[in-house]
Amino acid sequence: MKKITKKTAFVWTTVLGLTFSSMGMVSAASSVNDIKGHWAEGVITSWNDRDLVSGYEDGTFRPEEKVNREEFTALVNRSFGLMGSETIGFTDVKQTDWSYEDIGVAKKAGYVSGYPDGTFRPKNEMTRQEVAVIVANLLGLNQSGTIESLADGQGIPAWSKGAISAVIDNKIMAGYPNGTFGPVRTATRAEAIAIIDKALYFKTQKDHLAPRPAVEPTPAPVVTPNTDSTVPTNAK
């Protein structure tokens, strides 16, 4: 397994909203005691077992805590293995901020943008419609669908409608039992992990099923009689 440096551990801790304590962070392979019966128990346990996430020192994971924009961006970058940053001009993101490079990576990858006033608002909690837009952009999903079936569909703004329809159609995100999508509800840790896990699976399937470029057949040589030698000539 790749060695985890203190810097890497700190970044992942920040990304997932987890913390160090005087006794150290709980081992990623350790079980957490507050996800039993939770709807995301399976995916959290899977990520925990694979050393992708870990819980608090008290043995909790706190799946219902909120995720903000910089945390979600960094988590997407690491999960998808995105690299290569670019200079960003957001007025509220400094080069000294831990998330500066991650936001630059996300901007270069083209799946995020700032607000009209030139800000990124990294500490803002990540809404479900923002998550949908990021995932749809990241996976290049067709965003021409409709969302009339959602109970709150008419209240969803135009800028996120296509993305929400796309992630629902591709079974990456889903609505709530009451028929709503909850576009302005903040995404929780559990939701963030579950959604990214499904997005990664979708990408794997998409890449695996993508048709390979056609290979031009190499013409067989034609042997032309010659008094001195046999000269192979490629057929046209």
pLDDT tens across 214-231, in order? 444 444 444 444 444 333
Dihedrals phi, psi of 127, to nearest 5 degrees: -85, 160
Q: Which residue pairs, CB below 8 angstroms and at least 24 apart, start in 217-224?
A: none
Longest Cα separation, the chain:
89
Report the C-alpha gap between 197 and 43 in whole angstroms.
Answer: 8
Q: Whole-prediction pTM value?
A: 0.73
And the tokens for 115?
């607000």
pLDDT tens for residues 134-174? 999 999 999 887 788 899 999 999 999 999 999 999 999 99
CB 203 within 8 A of CB 80: yes
pLDDT tens for residues 174-183? 999 999 999 9
Q: Which residue pairs, CB below 8 angstroms and at least 24 apart, start in 156-160?
A: 156/129, 156/181, 156/183, 157/129, 157/183, 159/133, 160/129, 160/130, 160/132, 160/133
CB 43 within 8 A of CB 193: yes
